[in-house]
Each structure stands twice: as structure tokens, then as C-alpha cells.
Amino acid sequence: MDDLRPGDPARIGGHRLVGRLGAGGMGVVYLGRTDAGALAAIKVILPEHAGDEDFRARFRREAEAARRVDSPWAVPVTDADTEAERPWIATEFVPGPTLSGVVARRGPLPVRSVMALGRLLSRALAAVHGAGLVHRDVKPGNVLLTADGPRLIDFGIARAADTTALTATGLLVGTPGFLAPEQVSGSTAGPEGDVFSLGCLLAYAATGRTPFGGGAVDAVLYRTVRAAPDLDGVDDASLRALLEHCLAKEPGERPSAVGLDTLIPQDVPAGAAAGWLPEDVVRLIADLSIALLALPGIDATVTDERPGPPRPGSTRRRTLLFAAGGAVLLGTGVFGAVRLTREEAAPRGKSGKSWVIGVHADLTGPGAAAGRAQERGVRLAVDRFNSRDGHPFRLAVKVLDDRGGAGRSTRVAEEFTRDPEVLAVIGPTGDAAAEAALPAYDEAALPVLTVSALQIAFPARANGSFFQAAPSYAALSVPVVSRILPRTGVKRLGILINRSGGQAAYQAGYTANLMARDLTGATTHPRVVPPGTTDFGPVVADLLAHRRDAVFYAGDAAGAARVAHALASLSFTGPRMAQHTVMGAEFLERAGAAAEGWEFVAPFTHATAPAAATFAAAHQGRFDAEPAAWSAEAYDAAELVARALAGLVGGGADGTGARATPSGDGGSARPTRPPRKAETVPPTRSALTAAVAATRYEGISRSYTFDKDNQSLVGRHAHLYRVENRRYRYLGPAPEWKS
């Protein structure tokens, strides 16, 4: 799933949108959630089609027909608005992997499963055809698998431009390799075409190959029309006969969908059939479904609207309303998270207790990109830990979303502190959230490690359980000036604080000014602009009028882009740096060519850093994506906690090295009887806090040692990036200050 984009609507019909599932020629498919909490896939038609009256009439007809499709094996249409300015249709969202995804990972399915698939999908198709529709794109990518059976999706509505292939003979609706010969020849496809496609799909499930081969589209289409299907490897005679029947070149020779069902032997499961797939495939489906559900935004709890700034007079009421709504919604979120945790924690061939590492993240708010990356980092660390033998305990992950808000963050912290299985928390993502969460965590002495809430200091607390596992905004100013000022010819540094960037900007800019003067003796020309400033021309002109050799910008991304344009228009080519909070797509998009050459000192490493190579490969394998910023840092933090835990309870290779943790540190003495062999007693939270504080760890992003007094990171190891060809290129470790 992808993030919503700036132009995307926040709501459609009764759905709040949480992400993009895909996009095609006809429109965009969003993931949304109804007010009642149900997930839905919502296809929204592009304006150019919506304006076409013929199209709209067809869409209206098809949507109406689709609502009549009634089969447990076809995903139901839940809602539609065919008269909206941009018409849309919503179907139930099934959190299962596609058949193609499962076969690609696991290989062909056994005969019995293919037969069951044939039976259940033929019933789905019968319902589609019974409603007067033709699917026209039956293929493995349009079948979702769940433990109790397949689900056919995307039947026949608004098909035309969505799935077309350009061939020598023109446009083609459908997917080559799964098309019927009559479709290839340009005839209108009827229900028989769907049966042919189902035959191709079943052959694919049985062999892992499409029956008309791969390669050039025209070659595939030629074989579809002319050649016999390649069914090598289908040794079961009845399955082979069934496939050949479906794959008849003449539409009239194929069975109907209803008829196909009767051709399948009676002992093949029908109905809600557990056991229709082999055990390992069910596990794979469960894993993939969990991964899908765990994707940010899906289990996120939401209020209907973002609470805006309070208005005088009604503030109290609004606040109370928000608090009440938040509590209820948080409840559902917690439920979802716990459910996921249980599934994930379920022992798979391993015994032992699971202890929980919480992820307190902004998954849907302004810091969602960082929060999601951190969730993935923690999951990887926990997977890795659990895959190693010799630990007397297993780790599980519980994720709660604070949406970047202070109020929700407090409640998330309270929820984690109340859960006795949670031994440590990675997060929060943002500064305001961290500030709000701190009292609850500290009171419970629950160790919490943030990697991205980097205010220079949070109020000191009694139990010292809050760790900042990355250099603060202020500390990063040292590598910033170390990068800029030793360069030849750079003696005068212009510093611009844009207060739209809040405390992060203020602390970075103010400290850079101090460090530049104190460390290097350079002269600075500091400028500050109020929040909301949009015209940076005069300030930038003033910086250059004072003959500054280099510029450091501390503020938000929008302002950075404006400053970049202003500097470019004055042909300034000296060193230009901005604080890491600017890094993101927005700066690149808004600044365009003016972004070239800008540099950043960031706390996060990059997939291309040599130390991150193994991590990046593991991330790619698990999430099918390169790790995003902050993922490795969260991995480090979780790994650090895991090591501290293992150190406390012992980690003998036979798994019996458990020992009671020292009591007396938290006042709650533990029973003195020795723990039973099979059960390791988890350490107290305060014991773990002390262990984390004392842990030294060489991580992917940096080495970790915490200051004894305020639990902040010792050292200022950071990473250097530069914009080249409209991308952030990783240059390597940021320079250390050499006095």
C-alpha cells in the first residue's frame, strides 16, 4: 500500500481514506475505512471517464449488477456512488495475499488445492455471470487467498481502460496469458471467456507457469489462439482433463461456470473449508496477511477529523469530546494491535515465553513516514532475535499509533505501561508526542528509547527511563559546522532560522550559530524569520549582501524550497546545508533543480551504507522495499533492548540459563523460589532500564552509549547526504569535529 498523495481526497462517501492500493487507467483504488470501522477497497473513476456519459451509463449498470453478485467466494460490493462527480465503487477489503503472490513465493499448489480453488472460483464466477456480468480479467492477481477459501475480486466493473495491452492489432482488454482466444481475436468476451481464463489460472496454480508461456505479448497471444496449452507437470488425470476442457479454443466447447463445479469430484472441499490448502500455505497466508494488516494505517485508529486548533469559548467542550472519542477509538486500536501481537507471538515450532517490545509511533500523522519505518525496523530486529537459538524467551511486537498528537501519545503511553507484558518501548516518533508520553513512561519506569524525538532536553524525570538513541538537533550542529566551515574559502556562515520549523529548527539554528563561533572562530550572520513567512527573497538577499560563503537553513521543508529558489536566482553556489527535518519528497519536489547540491547531516543511515548492507537485504526480503530513513535506527534500539534483556536473564545455549533478576530496585520483591525450567521470569522494568543504560552496542547506524545523567546518546555520529540528480545521495559518515 502506498501513502495518500497530496491531491487525494480525505474521504469518499462514508469512508476515510488511509492509503492507495493501486492505480490504473480508469482510476485509483484506495483503502478506506467506514465510520463503523470496516475496511474497504474503493475504486474512484478518473474525471476524464466520469465526464463520458456512455461510460457513466455503463458504470451505473455494472455497479448495479455487481451489487447483486452474491457468493462467499466473490468480494461483495459494499457501496457505490455512480452519480458523484467522480463516481466510485467500494468493495469489502480482504487482507489476504493474491494467488500470484502465494504461488510466486511457495511454488505450485497440490492437486487437491487446485481442485478446491476450481470449485470455489467456479461458484464465484457463476454468481458473477448470474448477475449478468462478465469478469473479463480472471487471473491470479484478482484472486485473494484466505484460510477458508479464495475470493474473486474486481469483477467486470469499469474494466475497459484498466487492463489493456497494446498489441500489433490494437488495444486488448484483459491480461495476456489469461485471455481467451476470442478476446484475443477482438470478439466480445462472454462468460465462456471467463471459464477459459479460470482454466489458465488453475493451470498456473498447478504448475507455477501460464499455459501459453511468457515473453512477448504478441507471441503469448498467438499461442493462446493457435497452440495447445502447456500442461506439463499436471499428472493428475482428472485435473488435466478439467483444464483441457476449460481451455478449449471454441467457447461453446467449454463448460459453464455452473457446469464446471459439477465436473469437480465430490470429495473436493466446498463451503468454508479449512484444510483446503496445505499447512505451510496457510501459514504463509497468515504471515502475508499479518504483514498486510500491520501495514501502517490499516490498524490505525482514527477520529473522524483531525482536531483543529481550539477556538476560544468552545475549547473545553471540544477537548472533552476529543478525549472521550479518543479513548473509545484507542480501545479498538489496542484490540487490533493485541490481536496482531498474539498472532505474531504464536510459537512456531519453538517453545518459550514471548515478551513484548512496544512500538510507540506516529503511523498516520505528520511523522508517519518515520513512524512506519521505525515499526519495520523493530519488527526486523525481533524476527532476527527470535530466529537465533538459545534464548529462553521470545520477543513479540505491539504497535500503537499516536498520530503525532500529544493527547493520543499520552494515552498510548498509558496503554503500554498498563500492559504487564510490555518490557520496553521504541518511540515515540515526534517531539511533542515524546514530551507528552514521558511522564507516564517515567512513572512506570518503563524503558522507552526514541530515535527521532531529538529535542535537546526533555524535563528530567525521577526514574530516568527515557533514552534518546540519536544525537539531538543541537548536537547535530557540530557535524554541520564541521562539514561547512573547514572548507577552503568558507569563513562567513549565514544561518537562517525559519520558525515555521518549531523547536527543531530553533535548536538546530541557534546551536549551529554558537558552535560556528565557539568551535571555529568563524563569523556568522544569523537571520530569523517568523512562522508563516513565505517571501524569503529579502532575507536571502541580505545574507548574500553580507558576503556569506555558505548557508545553513534550519526550518521546515516548504521554507527550505523557497530559500533554495531564492539562492539559485541569485546564482549562489557556495555550500548550502539544511537540517535533516527538511529531507523528504516535499523539498525535492518544490525546490526542483534548485535543490541540487544541498547537503544534510542526518541522524539516520542509508541502505547503501556498508554497515547497513545486511540490514537492507533483510528489509528487502521481509518488506519487499529498501529500508526508509529511521528504520535502521529503530532496529538498533530494539536490538539494544534485546541484548540488555538477554544479559539480564542469561541466554545459555540450552535455554535454561534463566535466573531471577535482582530485586530491590523497584521495591517490588519477586518470589525467591527459583523459576521453573520452562519459564523464565522477565526482569522488572527498572532492572531493564538500568541494563539499557549500561549497555554499549555497536549498531548499524552508530555505536550506542548513554550518558549516565540524562540518558542521552554519547557522541554525535551522524550521516551525510547531498541532493544529486533530484535524489538524496548518501555520502557516508558525517565529519567529526577535529579540534
Partner 1 sequence: MDCRVPLPGNRSILPLALIAMVLTGCSSTADGSGEAEERSAPANGGAGAGSGGSTGAGQSADATEAFRPDTARLPRTPAAARSLIDRVIADADSFGAEVVKRSPYESDPATWPVIDEDCVWQRRKPADSVLATLTRSFEVPAVAGRGPLRLAAVVTVHRTREDATWEMAESIEESMRCPTQKLREGELIGPLLAAALLGGEATQTHSEDSLSETGQYQSSELGGPHHYSWQQAQNLQFTVAVTGKGAKGRTEREVDELVVQAQSAMLARLESAVEKQS
- Return the number of the residue (238 or 523) whose C-beta is nearest partner 1: 523
Shortest distance (Å) from residue 327 CB to partner 1: 12
Among 162, 362, 599, 636, binds partner 1 (CB under 8 A): 362
* CA-closest candidate to residue 37, choices 307, 287, 328: 328
Residue 501 interacts with partner 1 (CB under 8 A): yes or no: yes
Residue 552 interacts with partner 1 (CB under 8 A): yes or no: no
Whether residue 137 lies in the annotated active site: yes
Among 252, 308, 420, 667, binds partner 1 (CB under 8 A): 308
Stretch of 18-26, 248-256, 310-318, 658-666 lying at the interface with partner 1 (CB under 8 A): 310-318
Write the DSSP string, 180-249. -HHHHTTPPP-HHHHHHHHHHHHHHHHHSS-TT--SSHHHHHHHHHHSPP--TT---HHHHHHHHHHT-S
Rounded to whole angstroms, the Cα distance separating 396 from 417 reads 16
Residue 316 interacts with partner 1 (CB under 8 A): yes or no: yes
Stretch of 50-58, 119-127, 178-186, 312-320 lying at the interface with partner 1 (CB under 8 A): 312-320
Residues 556-585 that bind partner 1 (CB under 8 A): 556, 581
Cell numbers for 626:
529498501
Residue 409 interacts with partner 1 (CB under 8 A): yes or no: yes
Shortest distance (Å) from residue 312 CB to partner 1: 5
- Return the number of the residue (116 or 560) whose C-beta is nearest partner 1: 560
Residue 505 interacts with partner 1 (CB under 8 A): yes or no: yes
Answer for the pair 360, 400: CB distance below 8 angstroms, yes or no: yes
Sheet holding 727-733, edge to edge: 523-529, 492-498, 550-554, 576-579, 599-602, 719-724, 727-733
139 is annotated as contributing to ligand binding: no
Catalytic, out of 3, 8, 70, 137: 137
Residue 38 interacts with partner 1 (CB under 8 A): yes or no: no
Name residues whose C-beta falls within 8 Å of residue 258's C-beta, 6 or more positions apart in sequence.
Answer: 122, 126
- Return the number of the residue (186 or 531) whose C-beta is nearest partner 1: 531
Residue 623 interacts with partner 1 (CB under 8 A): yes or no: no
Reported for 28-32, long-range contacts at CB under 8 A and 24+ positions apart, including other chains, are: 30/4, 31/1, 31/93, 31/297, 31/298, 32/90
Residue 297 interacts with partner 1 (CB under 8 A): yes or no: no
Binding mask 675-714 for partner 1 (x = CB under 8 A): -----------------------------------x----
- Return the number of the residue (22 or 366) whose C-beta is nearest partner 1: 366
Shortest distance (Å) from residue 318 CB to partner 1: 6
Among 386, 482, 507, 680, binds partner 1 (CB under 8 A): 507
How many residues bind partner 1 (CB under 8 A)? The answer is: 74
Backbone torsions φ then ψ of 499, nearest 5 degrees: -70, -5
**Pairing status of strand 599-602 against strand 550-554:** unpaired
Residue 453 interacts with partner 1 (CB under 8 A): yes or no: yes
Instruction: Please provide the size of the chain in residues.
Output: 739
Residue 436 interacts with partner 1 (CB under 8 A): yes or no: yes
Residue 641 interacts with partner 1 (CB under 8 A): yes or no: no
Number of other CB atoms surrounding residue 104 within 10 Å? 12
Instruction: Please give the span between the terminal C-alpha atoms of the chain, in angstroms, as a whole number.
Output: 48
Shortest distance (Å) from residue 484 CB to partner 1: 16
| 329, 330, 336, 341: CA torsion to nearest 10 | 180
- Return the number of the residue (45 or 432) whose C-beta is nearest partner 1: 432
Rounded to whole angstroms, the Cα distance separating 94 from 144 reads 7
- Return the number of the residue (358 or 367) whose C-beta is nearest partner 1: 367
Residue 278 interacts with partner 1 (CB under 8 A): yes or no: no
H or E stretch including 102? helix 99-106
Rg (CA), the chain: 29
- Return the number of the residue (556 or 639) whose C-beta is nearest partner 1: 556
Binding mask 249-268 for partner 1 (x = CB under 8 A): --------------------
Rounded to whole angstroms, the Cα distance separating 731 from 720 reads 5
Backbone torsions φ then ψ of 130, nearest 5 degrees: -65, -25
Residues 183-242 that bind partner 1 (CB under 8 A): none
In the chain, what are the helix, strand and coil shares in percent, each to the nearest 5? Answer: 40, 20, 40
Q: How far is CA 667 from the centre of its chain?
A: 41
Residue 310 interacts with partner 1 (CB under 8 A): yes or no: yes
Among 10, 84, 323, 593, binds partner 1 (CB under 8 A): 323
Number of other CB atoms surrounding residue 89 within 10 Å? 26
Stretch of 117-125, 260-268, 404-412, 692-700 lying at the interface with partner 1 (CB under 8 A): 404-412
Cis? peptide before 265, omega within 30° of 0? no
Reported for 671-677, long-range contacts at CB under 8 A and 24+ positions apart, including other chains, are: none
- Return the number of the residue (273 or 528) whose C-beta is nearest partner 1: 528
Q: How far is CA 587 from the centre of its chain?
A: 21
H or E stretch including 722? strand 719-724
Residue 271 interacts with partner 1 (CB under 8 A): yes or no: no
Rounded to whole angstroms, the Cα distance separating 30 from 20 reads 4
Q: How far is CA 79 from the centre of its chain?
A: 27
Residue 511 interacts with partner 1 (CB under 8 A): yes or no: yes
Residue 407 interacts with partner 1 (CB under 8 A): yes or no: yes
Shortest distance (Å) from residue 369 CB to partner 1: 10
Residues 512-551 that bind partner 1 (CB under 8 A): 513-514, 517-519, 524-532
- Return the number of the residue (403 or 606) whose C-beta is nearest partner 1: 403
Residue 459 interacts with partner 1 (CB under 8 A): yes or no: yes
Residue 494 interacts with partner 1 (CB under 8 A): yes or no: no
Among 169, 185, 187, 315, binds partner 1 (CB under 8 A): 315
Residues noted as catalytic = 137
- Residue positions in the annotated binding site? 43
Return binding residues for ATP.
43
